[in-house]
């Protein structure tokens, strides 16, 4: 029984192109066969098409069409993939990107995109947790789930040579907002008062320490405050209330600040009969002094 044969190929995004035909034992090659550069060999006994020294460009969908004398046709298709090497055709690790959206009614929408170079030549499979998502072979995936669900997704990309995966955890992005809604109020009601209490304690301690130092910095007369050299003479004169000539001398640093000694002398005259008597009184006090360089 005589059968007519036709081999044709379809490359990605192209129409069918005839490679050769065999009718009445006559073999004819078409322009498409030039692509194979004399590497084709037709075997009529089994209608086989042999491609020698295959190249990556030979990848495509091949079709064998058999037509009987009475017109009956039978088509057989073969998907042929040619890979140069494990190194050049190895699948790269994909980059899994995800977005979420909280919906009314306690729902959360999840959108995933599995990015990989050469996406047209790889297969995609998806997993949610450890379970494979059946029947979904596309590069992107979308679903609606209940909030507070465990959302761990894995994208697997593969070809005939290798495979690679990428996993993304979106659980935190789809939690119930009410779980976190009370956190700001909790922080305000607990942390802020604690901080204010600590600041109050620090202020009180600093105030007490400063007050104590101020008391320690007063002169023995009890009236000359720390770091007040301009009041030294007047306060001393008032404190000791010398009614007559009063002389104040000071020994201390010429610049900066520190403790010094002040001597207060007073000369007083008294009369007894015809005799006049002078009395000289001197007192020395230790006080804090700050000298300014002029």
Q: Residue 33: name the closest of 47, 14, 46, 52 by CA.
A: 52
Annotated domain spans of the chain = 3-80, 95-179, 229-291
DSSP-derived secondary structure letter, 136: -
Q: Residue 233: name the closest of 267, 206, 262 by CA.
A: 262
264: confidence class by pLDDT, cuts 50, 70, 90: low
Is domain 3-80 in CATH 3.30.230.10, yes or no? no
CATH number of 95-179: 2.60.40.10
Is residue 86 within 8 Å of 161, Cβ to Cβ? Answer: yes
Tell which wins on pLDDT, 182 or 58: 58
Which range (74-78, 103-107, 275-279) has the least confidence? Answer: 275-279
Whole-model pTM? 0.39
**Is the pLDDT at 157 greater than 60, yes or no?**
yes
Percentages helix, strand, coil for the chain, rounded to the nearest 5?
25, 45, 35
Average pLDDT over residues 57-78: 92
Q: Which residue has the tokens 């976190």?
A: 180
**Is the pLDDT at 176 greater than 90, yes or no?**
no
The dihedrals phi and psi of 121, each to the nearest 5 degrees, come to -115, 20
pLDDT (0 to 100) of residue 290: 56
| Cα-Cα-Cα-Cα dihedral sign, residues 283, 286, 290, 294 | positive
Is residue 250 within 8 Å of 181, Cβ to Cβ? Answer: no
Which range (139-148, 195-204, 276-285) has the least confidence? Answer: 276-285
**Is the pLDDT at 155 greater than 90, yes or no?**
yes
Average pLDDT over residues 163-180: 82
**Is the pLDDT at 127 greater than 70, yes or no?**
yes
Q: Residue 11: name the closest of 82, 62, 85 by CA.
A: 62
Q: Would you tell me how many other CB atoms lie within 10 Å of the CB of residue 197?
A: 10
In three state form, how does the secondary structure of 204-257 look?
A: HHHHHHHHHHHHHCCCCCCCCCCCCHHHHHHHHHHHHCCCCCEEEEEECCCCEE
Tell which wins on pLDDT, 246 or 241: 246
Rounded distance between C-alpha atoms, residue 14 and residue 238, angstroms? 113
pLDDT digits (tens, 9 = 90+) for 186-243: 556 677 788 888 888 888 878 777 766 655 544 444 434 444 343 333 333 334 444 4
pLDDT (0 to 100) of residue 190: 73
Same CATH fold, 95-179 and 3-80? yes
Residue % of the chain over a pLDDT of 90: 37
160: confidence class by pLDDT, cuts 50, 70, 90: confident
Residue 162, CA atoms < 13 Å, CB-side half-sphere: 14
Q: Residue 4: name the closest of 63, 49, 45, 65 by CA.
A: 65
């Amino acid at each position: 029984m005589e059968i007519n044969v036709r081999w044709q190929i379809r490359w990605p995004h192209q129409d069918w192109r005839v490679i050769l035909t065999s009718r009445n034992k006559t073999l004819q090659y078409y322009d498409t066969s030039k692509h194979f550069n004399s590497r084709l060999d037709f075997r009529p006994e089994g209608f086989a098409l042999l491609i020698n020294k295959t190249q990556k460009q030979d990848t495509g969908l091949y079709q064998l069409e058999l037509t009987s004398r009475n017109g009956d046709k039978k088509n057989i298709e073969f998907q042929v993939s040619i890979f140069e090497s494990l190194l050049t055709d190895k699948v790269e690790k994909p980059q899994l990107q995800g977005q979420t959206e909280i919906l009314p009614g306690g729902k959360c929408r999840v959108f995933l995109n599995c990015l990989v170079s050469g996406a047209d030549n790889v297969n995609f499979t998806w997993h949610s947790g450890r379970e494979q998502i059946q029947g979904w072979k596309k590069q992107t995936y979308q679903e609606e789930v209940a909030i507070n669900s465990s959302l761990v997704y894995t994208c697997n990309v593969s070809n005939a040579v290798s495979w690679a995966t990428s996993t993304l955890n979106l659980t935190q992005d789809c939690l119930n907002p009410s779980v976190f809604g009370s956190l700001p109020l909790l922080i305000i009601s607990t942390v802020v008062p604690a901080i204010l209490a600590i600041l109050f304690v620090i202020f009180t301690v600093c105030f007490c320490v400063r007050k104590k130092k101020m008391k320690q910095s007063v002169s023995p007369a009890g009236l000359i405050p720390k770091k007040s050299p301009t009041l030294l003479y007047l306060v001393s004169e008032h404190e000791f209330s010398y009614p007559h000539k009063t002389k104040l001398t000071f020994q201390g640093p010429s610049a900066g600040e520190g403790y010094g000694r002040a001597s207060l002398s007073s000369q007083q005259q008294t009369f007894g009969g015809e005799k006049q008597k002078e009395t000289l009184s001197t007192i020395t006090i230790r006080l804090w002094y700050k000298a300014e360089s002029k």
